[in-house]
Structure 1
Amino acid sequence: MKNLFILVVKRILAAHYPDVVMSHKEIITEVMGRFTFKSKGKELLSKGWHHVIPATDERDIMLPTLLKESVGDVTNTLTTKSKTKPPNRYTSSSLIGFMKNAAQAIEVEEMKSIKNLPLGTEATRAGLITLLESRKYIEWKNNKVYPTLLGITIIDSIKMGSVIKSPILTAKWDVKLNEIGASLYNHNDFIAHSKKLSSVLFEEVKTYSTKWNQNGVERIKSDSIGACLLCGSNVILRKGKHGEFYGCSNYEDSGCSLNLPFKVLNKKLSKKQLMELLQKGETDIIEGFKWKDKTFNAPLVWNREDQKVQFGK
Structure 2
Amino acid sequence: MKLYIAEKPSLGRAIAAALPKPQKNHQGYIALANGDVVSWCIGHILEQANPENYDPAFKKWQMAHLPIIPEQWQLKPKVQTRAQLTVLRSLVKQADEIIHAGDPDREGQLLVDEVIDFLKVSAKKKQNIKRLLISDLNLPAVQRSLANLQSNQLFMPLSISALARSRADWLYGINMTRAYTLQGQKAGFNSVLSVGRVQTPLLGLVVRRQQEIDNFVAKDFYDVHAHLQTKTQEQFIAKWQPSEACQPHMDEEGRVLNRALAENVVRRIGQQTAEVSGVDEQQKKQAAPLPYNLSSLQIDAAKIYSLNAKLVLDVCQALYEKHKLITYPRSDCRYLPKEHHDQAKGIIAMLASADETYAKFAQGANSSLKSKAWNNAKVTAHHAIIPTEKSANKLTLNPFEKKIYFLIVRQYLAQFYPAYQYNQTKVEVLIAGGKFCANAKTPIAQGWKVLFQRAKNKPDKVEQEKGDQSDDNFERQLTHQSLPKLVKGEQLLCQHGELISRMTQAPKHFTDASLLSAMTGIARFVSDVDIKKLLRENDGLGTEATRAGIIDLLFKRDYLQRQGKNIHATVIGTSLINALPIAATMPDMTAHWEATLTNISEKKSRYEDLISPLTSTIAEMIKQSEQQSFAQLPKVAFKRKSKAKKSTTWKKKPTK
More helix by share: 2
- What TM-score range do you get, normalising by the shorter chain? 0.3 to 0.5
Give the TM-score normalised by structure 1. 0.46
- Point out the structure with max Rg over C-alpha: 1
